[in-house]
Structure 1
């Protein structure tokens, strides 16, 4: 990801990690560490000693839990799920600046938090910020048959249902063909 001061996004990290674990449920520790490093995590925090197999298992489980929130299309249920994560894993917000990142909020329990707790607390914060900034769910799981890929929908316009233009087109074409077969237009 380059310079951590340019373009760091906790929401992008959340989506990338949840998607990687969705595709490869037992994603190896080394690949998880590489993904985290690409999102600005310190190499010293990603060594086998600091980020053990147990830590990787916690992170994979947390990513699977976040996947249920990412797949939620109802705003009220999504907000309830985020609030439940805050209640279980969050703590009093604090401003922090480290490792070249600008000032930002942390709601995890600091050094006492395991990898899974950290990911769930920081992911909940990222989703809460998106929901309040956009006034709608600004993330999702692709609605195209056979896809399910997680995405951020932070651009202009109405809420998205698909991860890409190609999935949207494929879904429209399939719906059109289905209607023609059924004689409905």
Structure 2
């Protein structure tokens, strides 16, 4: 584990949310938002309506900018997000989670909680000077965000699909090079 569990989950959620905008869009329905909410173990208020889905979808460009910016720009973005969200960090314990940080009320809209929890997670990334753990997918046709939590910092693709597609292409290129003309 590179970061605390809550930090890793917030970063994974943010990367997944940003990458949900890639073609095809994987966050178009309330059911898909419910699955995202459950997968990343969010707690607190849920409105279960189109307005909530739209608000979460509107976060994607801001989170993409945050996750792909340099360290100085990330600091500016984090500070602005925390100020706008009126963040007040507090230790909380709920569900299966032991003590961890939340910076807004559990009554705040889901989009606000996602934004602030991502900003809080980025504080750890920035302070540890680990911005290199974030980047863009090595697949030239993708553009997804990569969060590399591996020990050896070897993750290059945003998904298994991109990694497999590139491995197959490399295999075929090697096979073509080995085939006499």
TM-score using structure 1 length: 0.71
Find the counterpart in structure 1 of residue 41 from structure 2: 40
5+ long unaligned stretches in structure 2: 171-181
**Pair 1:102–1:34, CA change in 2 (3 A):** same
Find the counterpart in structure 2 of residue 13 from structure 1: 13
The Cα offsets for residues 31-72 of structure 1, whole Å up to 9 and x where unpaired, read as 011121112235x855xxx32111111111113321121222
**Pair 1:86–1:12, CA change in 2 (3 A):** same
Q: 1:103 aligns with which of 92, 99, 102?
A: 99
TM-score using structure 2 length: 0.72
Shift of 1:93: 0.6
The structure with higher relative contact order (CA 8 Å, sep 6+) is 2
Shift of 1:140: 2.1
The Cα offsets for residues 63-106 of structure 1, whole Å up to 9 and x where unpaired, read as 3321121222x221122112221121142210000112111101
5+ long unaligned stretches in structure 1: 174-185
The Cα offsets for residues 18-43 of structure 1, whole Å up to 9 and x where unpaired, read as 2113441762121011121112235x
Does the CA-based 8 Å contact 2:68-2:136 persist in structure 1? yes
